[in-house]
Structure 1
């Protein structure tokens, strides 16, 4: 069948319109934390539940949904100094990067366990862009500031260096018209109701004030607590997203901090964030209890106040 001039014009406009629509759509940014396989000593206290399978399924779903980047907020592996503990994660990262999905991470306590120098060396090999005194990555107009919260493993000079860098970076981003939103991430949670790990007061003292005072800072992400928790502190959103595969941790029956997602408690999950003009769409991707697959769970918007 031959197409006349007007038919060709219609087809061209249709495809051109689709291309413009695709270009206008903002890229998705994925976040996860605590993808480490359980240690035998942990299993003496906490119940396992196909944890390594859950981690594999998270990376598979990230690959299928194809975000622009994946950020891992620490405890990527159970013992960072052991090369064999990186084997599966190396394969997952390779699959993502081969599909042009950038992978970034920040240090957790498990990367530095038993042999901190060797653990950080193995970590740095996988994430060469990482800086143990904080670093910045930007996707679209969303700046992601990644911080090191392993203060007991940091020298005083590194802590001071990160403090100065963090404040200077937030100030610079506040005045950069190309940046619309700032997400701050570290491993240890400033707020959590976990009965296994405590809220990190140093994170609360060093990282939270600048985050709250900045208009562009809209989302503070952390792990360490193997749960999904959501807190609203002075009008700002704090999420704990430690559902990457580590052993699920019980929560205190009486809250330490008010969790506004008290009824949303998937065992395994990761986060998707996407800019929608003047707000960010935040969606928790949760793994079904029967491991049949992922679905969108809790979803909400954050915007500049």
Structure 2
């Protein structure tokens, strides 16, 4: 029981760290382009990940893999997902960007039907449509405003694209976890994203101010430690027990929007956020209440947060 409680504590800490990482990404985006943020986020995250693998005595032995193309495929989907996730954070409030991210477990359903030939039940389909309705409610105050800003539309489009690519990445993670450890998957993901971010250097990087440099380094460290906490949580408690606490990310996002940016959500947005969390929870836990649910491992280091 103590192990389970420590796992829950680590899962809550990981969710909080991912939320702070998103805050650092948004703060850095006021000055630095997305590609530069991706490089710092991923390359700095390699430091705590490698130290963790050394502590587990899995470095460098744990980096050996018989599935390099599987890691490349998963990391490519994750890289694209990270790019659009950071792009959405650059243009949208934290709560709205986080809400769009919660579409990923809902979008896993059609992806799993196509790629894994799974057949979910009618209740899961209903929950999926409810989740999309929740997103519509969260978007309504923004979309109904006369003269909507182009940047907001870019952020919404990026958030939706991020959710789609995250769904594909999660299916790839499911395929990899049968033979690969979480630390190995996290390492190669961070490595590929570092290289991807570095390739954007010719497009023009900012000369970051000391404050922005803090945000960039902070994003990498919080993201890396969040990965470690997530891995240790999964080692101490069942994934099904821990998954429920992923939704505390919405609470963190709302609180950070209020305290850091003084953004108060509209009541209809709160209703939408509740619908999204409820729908995603039905999809992830429906099996426990007799709802046929496909089996992708949604708790295995999400690509947006592996973000």
Whether the TM-score (by the shorter chain) exceeds 0.5 is: no
Q: TM-score, normalised by structure 2?
A: 0.28
Q: Which has the higher contact order (CA 8 A, sep 6+)?
A: 2
What's the TM-score once normalised by structure 1's chain length? 0.28
Of the two, which has the highest radius of gyration? 1
- Structure having the higher helix fraction is 2
More strand by share: 1
